[in-house]
């Protein structure tokens, strides 16, 4: 159900601008919802997979995303209800679980829940707006041409729209087209083993570790070059742990690579026994290499300027940032707002290139700050206990998560405030025939 307070915007363009969104992940769904709210016409959302399972495990959504989703008429209470209900999270010492800091959960990820459950809500919100989601529709080719870019599906079908939003994830096919070059993943030097399961009755009865299985809770154990995150959902019905560790191996960049539980048991041999037992009792896990991409010099196709990257395809985040999905929602709001602002002079369709170029300039700095915030946290956690005497008191501020400043931001308001000045810059660049790179 859309929220009772929902007020759709008046249409800024007549006829409305048309859009196709590629990728029905959280970023693509957010793009479709935002464009619809701003009264642009979303022709369809395409996804290559035939159906979505309950994929992934814990994912965070912050207030910065909620305030936009709510404005767009989404009932965010649905998300809040299925997220972790713990009021706080605890940061602990690796070897013995000693509490180093406590923080409200809202300081970190906002609401942590299962990615698949959150995704299901986003898909439902798209369907409620009668936006067609076409599954099994893999885009295999982009033609970056005026007046409308053309995409080709694996079936041979061709589609076009005034703007194409490529929310096609970390392994984006659109990205090399936009960049005009290959961009291989860069290893972050770390990988995660991750597991999500319903704990057995036996595990729940184990007094050594059942303190983390009785109710919703979130704990982190930090140690030299490693950390473990634990998240218990649905009052102990579901349990998730993620072990981040140094890695220079060459496992593929995949969400589905099986992990080696023997290696996990070796890595946790020095971990606080209360959580070690729960990890050791796990039957199977996934091995997820944390790859990133260097910041991109552009998010928009160079020919027509009408194919725009969004979400993980242009600003993937480390898990410690807890902002990958929230930043995708912000980007969706800014892109839709920029397309709106064009309505002012009645030349919307001709000027889409101004909107897309303003979008990337408005978003780049903010996503970099959010990405580096996650790198800073990982480095603080992995460094603080190195070569430190066991009895040394650690200042809680040194291990706390510092995400609160990210949440008060209103990405759409920021876009409207800065629109005029950024637009002047972009128009100057078009006149000079040179778009300056983002970095």
Please list the residues that pair with 104 across neighbouring strands: 88
DSSP readout, 112-153? Answer: EEEHHHHHHHHHHHHHHTT--EETT--EEEEE--SSS-EEEE
Please list the residues that pair with 166 across neighbouring strands: 22, 309
Tell me the window of 25-33, 207-215, 267-275, 409-417 that interacts with ligand FAD (CB under 6 A).
25-33
Return the residue of 17, 18, 21, 23 that touches ligand FAD, per CB under 6 A: 23
Return the residue of 17, 19, 21, 27 that touches ligand FAD, per CB under 6 A: 27
Tell me the window of 46-54, 100-108, 291-299, 388-396 that interacts with ligand FAD (CB under 6 A).
46-54
Return the residue of 328, 335, 339, 358 that touches ligand FAD, per CB under 6 A: 328
Tell me the window of 24-32, 141-149, 224-232, 419-427 that interacts with ligand FAD (CB under 6 A).
24-32
Across the beta sheet with 158-160, the strand order is 139-143, 150-153, 158-160
Tokens of 349: 């369709």
**In this complex, which beta carbon is closest to ligand FAD, that of residue 311 or of residue 333?**
311
Tell me the window of 47-55, 72-80, 204-212, 262-270 that interacts with ligand FAD (CB under 6 A).
47-55
Task: Tell me, residue by residue from 333 to 372, as one string, x for binding to ligand FAD by CB under 6 A and - for no binding.
Answer: ----------------------------------------
Q: Helix (H, G, I), strand (E, B), or coil: what is residue 405?
A: helix
Report the C-alpha gap between 217 and 322 in whole angstroms.
16
**Residue 330 interacts with ligand FAD (CB under 6 A)?**
no
**Residue 135 interacts with ligand FAD (CB under 6 A)?**
no
Report the C-alpha gap between 74 and 57 in whole angstroms.
22
**In this complex, which beta carbon is closest to ligand FAD, that of residue 332 or of residue 341?**
332
Task: Tell me, residue by residue from 50 to 69, as one string, x for binding to ligand FAD by CB under 6 A and - for no binding.
Answer: -----xxxxx----------
**Residue 412 interacts with ligand FAD (CB under 6 A)?**
no
Q: How far is the CB of 162 from ligand FAD (least distance, A)?
A: 19
Q: Which of 291, 285, 284, 193 is nearest to 250 (CA)?
A: 291
Return the residue of 12, 73, 311, 374 that touches ligand FAD, per CB under 6 A: 311
Report the C-alpha gap between 110 and 107 in whole angstroms.
7
Tell me, by CB under 6 A, how many residues bind ligand FAD: 31
Tell me the window of 49-57, 91-99, 128-136, 219-227 that interacts with ligand FAD (CB under 6 A).
49-57
Task: Tell me, residue by residue from 139 to 178, as one string, x for binding to ligand FAD by CB under 6 A and - for no binding.
Answer: x---------------------------xxxx--x-----
Q: How does strand 186-197 pair with strand 286-292?
A: antiparallel
Across the beta sheet with 163-166, the strand order is 133-134, 41-46, 18-22, 163-166, 307-309
Helix (H) or strand (E) holding 194: strand 186-197
**In this complex, which beta carbon is closest to ligand FAD, that of residue 255 or of residue 405?**
255
Q: How far is the CB of 389 from ligand FAD (least distance, A)?
A: 35
Q: Which of 199, 207, 201 is nearest to 234 (CA)?
A: 199
**Residue 138 interacts with ligand FAD (CB under 6 A)?**
yes
**Residue 48 interacts with ligand FAD (CB under 6 A)?**
yes
Report the C-alpha gap between 307 and 176 in whole angstroms.
12
Return the residue of 32, 37, 47, 112 that touches ligand FAD, per CB under 6 A: 47
Backbone angles phi, psi at 364, to 5 degrees: -60, -50
The three-point CA angle 411-171-17 to 5° equals: 45
**Residue 46 interacts with ligand FAD (CB under 6 A)?**
yes
**In this complex, which beta carbon is closest to ligand FAD, that of residue 9 or of residue 43?**
43
Q: Helix (H, G, I), strand (E, B), or coil: what is residue 243?
A: strand
Tell me the window of 48-56, 79-87, 89-97, 410-418 that interacts with ligand FAD (CB under 6 A).
48-56
233: Cβ contacts below 8 Å, ≥ 6 apart = 83, 84, 113, 114, 216, 239, 240
Cβ atoms 170, 288 nearer than 8 A = no
**Residue 21 interacts with ligand FAD (CB under 6 A)?**
no
Tell me the window of 184-192, 277-285, 319-327, 347-355 that interacts with ligand FAD (CB under 6 A).
319-327
Count Cβ atoms below 10 Å from residue 316 Cβ, excluding itself.
Answer: 21
Binding positions for ligand FAD, rule: CB under 6 A: 22-28, 46-49, 55-59, 115, 138-139, 167-170, 173, 255, 311-312, 319, 324-325, 328
């Amino acid at each position: 159900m859309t929220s009772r307070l929902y007020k759709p915007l008046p249409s800024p363009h007549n006829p409305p601008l048309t859009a196709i969104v590629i990728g029905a992940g959280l970023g693509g769904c957010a793009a479709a919802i935002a464009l619809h709210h701003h009264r642009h016409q979303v022709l369809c959302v395409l996804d290559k997979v035939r159906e979505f399972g309950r994929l992934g495990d814990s994912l965070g959504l912050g207030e910065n995303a909620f305030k936009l989703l709510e404005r767009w008429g989404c009932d965010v209470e649905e998300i809040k209800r299925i997220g972790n209900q713990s009021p706080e999270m605890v940061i602990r010492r690796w070897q013995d679980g000693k509490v180093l800091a406590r923080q409200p959960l809202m300081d970190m990820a906002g609401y942590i829940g299962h990615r698949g459950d959150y995704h299901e809500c986003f898909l439902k919100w798209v369907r409620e707006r009668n936006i067609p989601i076409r599954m099994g529709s893999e885009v295999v080719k982009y033609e970056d041409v005026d007046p409308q870019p053309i995409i080709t599906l694996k079936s041979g079908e061709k589609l076009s729209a005034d703007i194409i939003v490529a929310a096609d994830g970390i392994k984006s096919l659109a990205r090399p087209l936009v960049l005009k070059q290959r961009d291989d993943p860069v290893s972050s030097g770390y990988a995660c083993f991750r597991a999500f399961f319903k704990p057995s009755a036996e595990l729940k009865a184990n007094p050594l570790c059942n303190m983390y299985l009785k109710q919703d809770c979130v704990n982190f154990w930090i140690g030299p070059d490693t950390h473990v995150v634990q998240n218990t959902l649905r009052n102990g019905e579901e349990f998730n742990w993620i072990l981040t560790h140094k890695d220079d191996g060459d496992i593929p960049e995949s969400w589905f690579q099986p992990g080696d539980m023997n290696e996990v048991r070796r890595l946790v041999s020095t971990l606080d026994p209360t959580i070690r037992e729960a990890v050791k009792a796990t039957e199977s896990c996934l091995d997820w290499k944390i790859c990133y991409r260097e910041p991109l010099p552009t998010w928009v196709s160079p020919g027509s300027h009408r194919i725009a990257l969004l979400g993980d395809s242009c600003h993937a985040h480390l898990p410690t940032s807890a902002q990958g999905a929230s930043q995708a929602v912000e980007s969706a709001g800014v892109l839709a707002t920029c397309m709106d602002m064009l309505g002012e002079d009645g030349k919307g369709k001709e000027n889409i290139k101004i909107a897309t170029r303003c979008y990337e300039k408005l978003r780049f700095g903010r996503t970099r700050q959010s990405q580096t915030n996650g790198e800073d946290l990982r480095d603080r956690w992995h460094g603080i206990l190195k070569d430190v005497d066991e009895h040394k008191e650690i200042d809680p501020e040194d291990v706390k998560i510092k995400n609160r400043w990210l949440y008060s931001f209103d990405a759409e308001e920021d876009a409207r405030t800065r629109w005029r000045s950024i637009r002047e810059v972009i128009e100057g660049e078009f006149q000079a025939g040179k778009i300056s790179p983002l970095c």
